A and B are shown apart, each in its own frame.
Chain A
Amino acid sequence: MKTDTVVEFDVALIERARRGDAKAFERLYRDHVGRVHGLCLRMTRNPDLAADCVQDAFIKAWKALPKFEARASFSTWLHRIAVNTVLEKRRGPANAEIAVEDPTVHEEPAMSFDSPVEEEELEAAIESLPQGARDALVLCGVYGYEHSEAASMLGIAVGTCKAQLHRARGLLKERLERGVR
């Protein structure tokens, strides 16, 4: 969680960047690029494409800065732009693989495992998930977004997002068990 001081510093940088200060924007880039790249890499599963998405997302962010509302989270705003960029590059909606919409699927707590798993093994299992399920898992599970936020970023219904996350958890558990044994 960012401290108030850091957030205030961000606000000052954003204000300077909005006035055309590229140095301030570079500082914002350096502070946020790791998270944006992590998100793009997990969504695209392709390092080159992820790098393209990161560049495009920051360029779009620079151009859209005048529209950014100071009361919103810059990080979330940036992630929204990044997700949108990934979806554009895929040239299709995030839920193209399956059209699941089940509002009765209940909210589940953050996913935990019975026994510790190696990070690399978990990343590989996430990478192997179908696109829609992976997107929901990355946004909600790894980056901690609420279903409503993730659904809005992905352009899908909240029920679909919940169903995709539910599906992702099942597949992930199955694949991790299969991989371990």
Chain B
Amino acid sequence: MNRRIKRIDELAQDIPPPRDLWQGISAAIEADKAAAAAPAQKQSGRRSFWMPAAGLAASVLLVALGVFIGQIIGNKRGPLDDGVAQTVPAPRNENTPELRHAKYTNQREELLREVNAKLATMPPADRAKVAASLETLSKSIKDIEAALGHDPANALLQELLVSSCQEEMRALTAVRDSGREEI
């Protein structure tokens, strides 16, 4: 019924929703409780959602940086040595043996040595960009590893780590091989 009122505060404050919204709320509460109860997630009930999201973001960043490095290498100018030492980050703590086996570690360390040597021959501006990008790549992988530390069984994170490491190797190889084109 459309009643007539004389004051605005006579308007009904209660307007029931057209459908029961409790189901959705209840599902979220149950998920929250389950996350809080999980032994690996005692510190934060949101981790199960945010950690894969952070890993995914890191992975997207890795791909973008890989492309960025490729562009820098593609547009490189002639070698220029101004004597400023700029290196890529040191090898990380390899604490996920099932994914980061010894062969990979050795290959990566060797690549890093070659890349560091290559960086020294690059123009300062390019060198700074590439070094910063490689450092960000490395940090992104560390973030995914940290997320895996909290949720080791997360298949999505495991997949992200593998693809991210491959992406980093591709980027390192691109930097190293850019020197060979000049010869």
Contact (A122, B5) CB under 8 Å given A35-B14, A38-B15: yes
Q: Which of B1-41 contact A (CB under 8 A)?
A: 2-9, 11-19, 21-22, 24-26, 28-30, 32-33
Among B5, B19, B25, B28, chain A packs the most CB atoms within 10 A around the CB of B25
Chain A residues whose CB sits within 8 angstroms of the CB of B24 once the complex forms? 55
Q: Would you call A55 and B18 a contact (CB within 8 A)?
A: no
Q: Would you call A116 and B6 a contact (CB within 8 A)?
A: yes
| Interface residues on chain A, size class | 35 or more
A147 proximal to B (CB < 8 A): no
Among B12, B15, B32, chain A packs the most CB atoms within 10 A around the CB of B15
Chain B residues whose CB sits within 8 angstroms of the CB of A136 once the complex forms? none
Q: Would you call B13 and A113 a contact (CB within 8 A)?
A: no
A111 proximal to B (CB < 8 A): yes
Q: Would you call A110 and B9 a contact (CB within 8 A)?
A: yes
In the complex the two chains form, what is the Cα distance from A51 to B15 in whole Å?
11
Q: Would you call B13 and A22 a contact (CB within 8 A)?
A: no
Q: Would you call B13 and A51 a contact (CB within 8 A)?
A: no
Q: Would you call A119 and B2 a contact (CB within 8 A)?
A: yes
In the complex the two chains form, what is the Cα distance from A110 to B11 in whole Å?
12
From DSSP, what is the main secondary structure of chain A's interface residues? Answer: helix
Q: Would you call A26 and B22 a contact (CB within 8 A)?
A: yes
A144 to chain B, nearest CB (A): 6
Task: Return the chain B residue nearest A112 by Cβ.
Answer: B7
A137 proximal to B (CB < 8 A): yes
In the complex the two chains form, what is the Cα distance from A119 to B21 in whole Å?
26
In the complex the two chains form, what is the Cα distance from A63 to B44 in whole Å?
11
Q: Would you call A110 and B13 a contact (CB within 8 A)?
A: no
Among A119, A137, A141, A172, chain B packs the most CB atoms within 10 A around the CB of A119
Q: Would you call A22 and B11 a contact (CB within 8 A)?
A: no
Q: Would you call B29 and A38 a contact (CB within 8 A)?
A: no
Contact (A119, B11) CB under 8 Å given A59-B28, A63-B32: yes
* Interface residues in chain B, defined as those with a beta carbon under 8 Å from any beta carbon in chain A: 2-9, 11-19, 21-22, 24-26, 28-30, 32-33, 45
14 contacts between A and B (CB under 8 A): A22-B26, A29-B22, A33-B17, A33-B21, A34-B14, A47-B18, A51-B18, A55-B28, A62-B25, A62-B28, A110-B9, A112-B7, A142-B13, A172-B8
| Inter-chain pairs besides A34-B15, A119-B5, 8 sampled, C-beta below 8 Å | A22-B30, A25-B29, A37-B16, A58-B21, A59-B25, A62-B28, A122-B5, A144-B9
